[in-house]
Amino acid sequence: MVAAQTALNDMRINAEEDETRLVLDLSNEVQYKIFTLNNPNRLVVDLLRVRKTNKIKSSTKGEGLIDTIRVAKNTPNKLRVVIETKQTVLYKVNMLKSSQKRNSRLVIDLKSMYEGSQKVVASAINNSK
């Protein structure tokens, strides 16, 4: 008997000035792998044994630190979510277990790597005269 694949049911973005949260709503907890790529800046999330539902578009315009999100099967057992970011970001990932009221969620928090750096660099340049 083959185990049913977990479904990616929805994606939500919550954007603030220097932080952006992407929530992937899943029917069950999943195994995942995450890594970054450069030129352009991307965060890649491989979801193992996951399929996307019809509600999930192949490409979605982002908000905040996210430029675009692409979702596609990478292999028969792997759904790949590619998050193109507007700049280099720091990220934190949490898998939240399902409860009586909510399905499992993979929460990806992105934070601007340059939040305070730009001010410090600008200040150092201005003071070097």
Please list the pLDDT of the chain residue by residue as tens digits (129 residues). 445 689 999 999 999 888 999 999 999 999 999 999 999 999 999 999 999 999 999 999 999 999 999 999 989 999 999 999 999 999 999 999 888 788 899 999 999 987 554 444 443 444 444
Class of residue 65 by CB neighbours under 10 A (exposed 0-12, middle 13-18, buried 19+): buried
Structure tokens at 89: 């970001």
Distance between CA atoms of 33 and 86, rounded to whole angstroms?
Answer: 22
Comparing CA positions, the residue from 91, 103, 112 lying closest to residue 11 is: 103
User: Sheet containing 42-48: which strands, arranged edge to edge?
Assistant: 32-37, 42-48, 78-85, 66-75, 59-61
Q: Read off the amino acid at residue 91.
A: Y
First to last CA, the chain: 73
Rounded to 10 degrees, the C-alpha dihedral 64/70/71/77 comes to: -110
Residue 120's pLDDT is 43
CATH 3.90.1150.10 fits 6-127, yes or no: no
Residue 100's pLDDT is 77
Residue 58's pLDDT is 92
Domain ranges in the chain are 6-127
Residue 5's pLDDT is 83
